[in-house]
Chains A and B, each alone.
Chain A
């Protein structure tokens, strides 16, 4: 059984990679993918803490996070499709309609 710290380090790695992806990538779909990656990093920390602190709360919260992620993916992709329909592009650098 690997110690709790190793799970937490892996979770921090996943979350940080997700943040790097959100900052670095310009494609809207890849940015949403990286947000999913961040959520999964957090999920791993929840389950690992729940396991080592003898609690089910971690697994319950992961279940709810998955529902939020599903709704977020559906809405986010609908918005991406809309933007593509209007702009012929999903490049976030080119989407600046609200910018003065």
Chain B
């Protein structure tokens, strides 16, 4: 695998770009690996990457039913932030955010991390109080955020209507080092490094069964043959419940559709990410100029990767109220992803009732921002059996009542 650099571009320019290699190999699956990861999305690939980089485990296969990064990794609105209230959440999301800062250099792949700042509008008195509290909590957690006044909101993002008729902007929780990154590049960059470390990324390989004996995992049955493994990691977002059923346990997870849409490209008009949780919508502008818009998840179980039109209507209505200038923008594309929601809206990174089988799921509507931190923590959990980042995110917290309740703390949009 060649090293990407300005020099490499110059060199290739002189030989008609014939020297570029494939970013990752597509090998045939072997019969046995030390570790098998199910799901080649951001979280699965980041887990594999950190297994190799931090723990020296490179006899790893990453199995993917569809194509690499084709699930929620390629369907999110690319927002990165870590302004969470609870300590356990702030720790893992801030770990992820800080890893994003140098991810392009670490992976030698431009993930276009853009720390342009994330602003969460406070549009009710309750939100003002809530975000002030979060800002204090973040100060204690070492996460850089501040509560800003409406005038500063208008300075940072002039296209916001701060004196809206229904919900005037009363302030905002501002995280200057939050931002966006190129979601596909995150998956591709990790895949390239994993492949370079000798790991096998096997696409179009669906897991149809999980083999266990004596309460321990032995391997998986796939559409491309049986594969034995020492340890198995399930990192499949919306389909986690389905995989857990194969292994014989249940999860406190429900899968629902979350939608997003992008507009036609327009000239630069906002250089921050804005989330309006009261009216329920969030928006940022991509480097191509498209306005990237996300809204709420459906309230019922849905595996179709398309959601209800009524939710799109709600989101657009909310955003037109907040940003009147977008009212005549044409929308170009609209899509949905299946997200796995837990009871407390916090993720599960945990051992399972089956020995050597680990699960990373429940990221709900906010998984993209967590990819590097999730990979770091989950790799540690799989390699060593425990990880400080995952300690409070175990499956047993539901039984023991130790919730990490971000559904209340972070409002609806994650």
A and B are partners in one complex rather than unrelated chains: no
Interface residues of B (CB under 8 A from A): none
